[in-house]
Amino acid sequence: MISARVAAIGLSAASAAAMLYVGLYQVRAVKTLICPLCGGCEAVADAPFARPFGVPDGFIALALYGVILVLLLAPFRPAWLTWILLVLGLLATLGNGLGVWDMMRLGAFCFYCLLTTVLSPFLLWAIWASR
């Protein structure tokens, strides 16, 4: 059986990879954002709400998941680090919920954003279970 820590590492890595792809599109390092199911990835990535403070939200999410990943890979975990991980996981979950609300208002959906939204509660659980 996969340990909760390994699951959390996998979930955060998958989320970071998805958001890296979106962020690279947002700065036009990749020309097209391939959207496997929803067809609205580019509309969402180019929407005004996708650049809080002028920063592409794909990179903001990448940084969040990257910090979670690095902390999960730490060889030891004092109690305070677990609480930081839980707060970051909760922040990811709430941020993704806000993103879905924004996508609903826009009328377009991004596969990669929805993927991280679905994964984030499982990531939060895996962080909790790995304490």
The DSSP-derived string for 42-62 is HHHHTSGGGSGGGS-HHHHHH
Would you place residue 21 in the very low, low, confident or very high pLDDT band (cuts 50, 70, 90)? very high
Query: For a pLDDT cut of 90, what percent of the chain falls above it?
Result: 93
- DSSP annotation of 27 reads T
The answer to whether residues 23 and 58 touch, using CB atoms and an 8 Å cutoff, is yes
- Average pLDDT (89-118) is 97
**At residue 52, does pLDDT exceed 70?**
yes
**Domains in the chain: how many in total?**
1
Q: Give me the domain span that covers residue 14.
A: 4-129
> At a CB cut-off of 8 Å and minimum separation 6, what does 38 contact?
108, 109, 110, 111, 114
Would you place residue 38 in the very low, low, confident or very high pLDDT band (cuts 50, 70, 90)? confident
Count of positions (residues) in the chain: 131
Would you place residue 108 in the very low, low, confident or very high pLDDT band (cuts 50, 70, 90)? very high
Residue 37 confidence (pLDDT): 87
46 vs 1, residue with greater confidence:
46
Instruction: Report the alpha-carbon distance of residue 61 to residue 17 in Å, rounded.
Output: 10
Amino acid at the residue 129: A
Alpha helices in the chain (DSSP H): 4-26, 41-45, 57-72, 79-106, 111-129
Q: Which residue has the tokens 């947002």?
A: 26
| CATH code of the domain in which 121 resides | 1.20.1440.130
- Average pLDDT (75-96) is 95
Would you place residue 1 in the very low, low, confident or very high pLDDT band (cuts 50, 70, 90)? low
- Average pLDDT (121-128) is 97
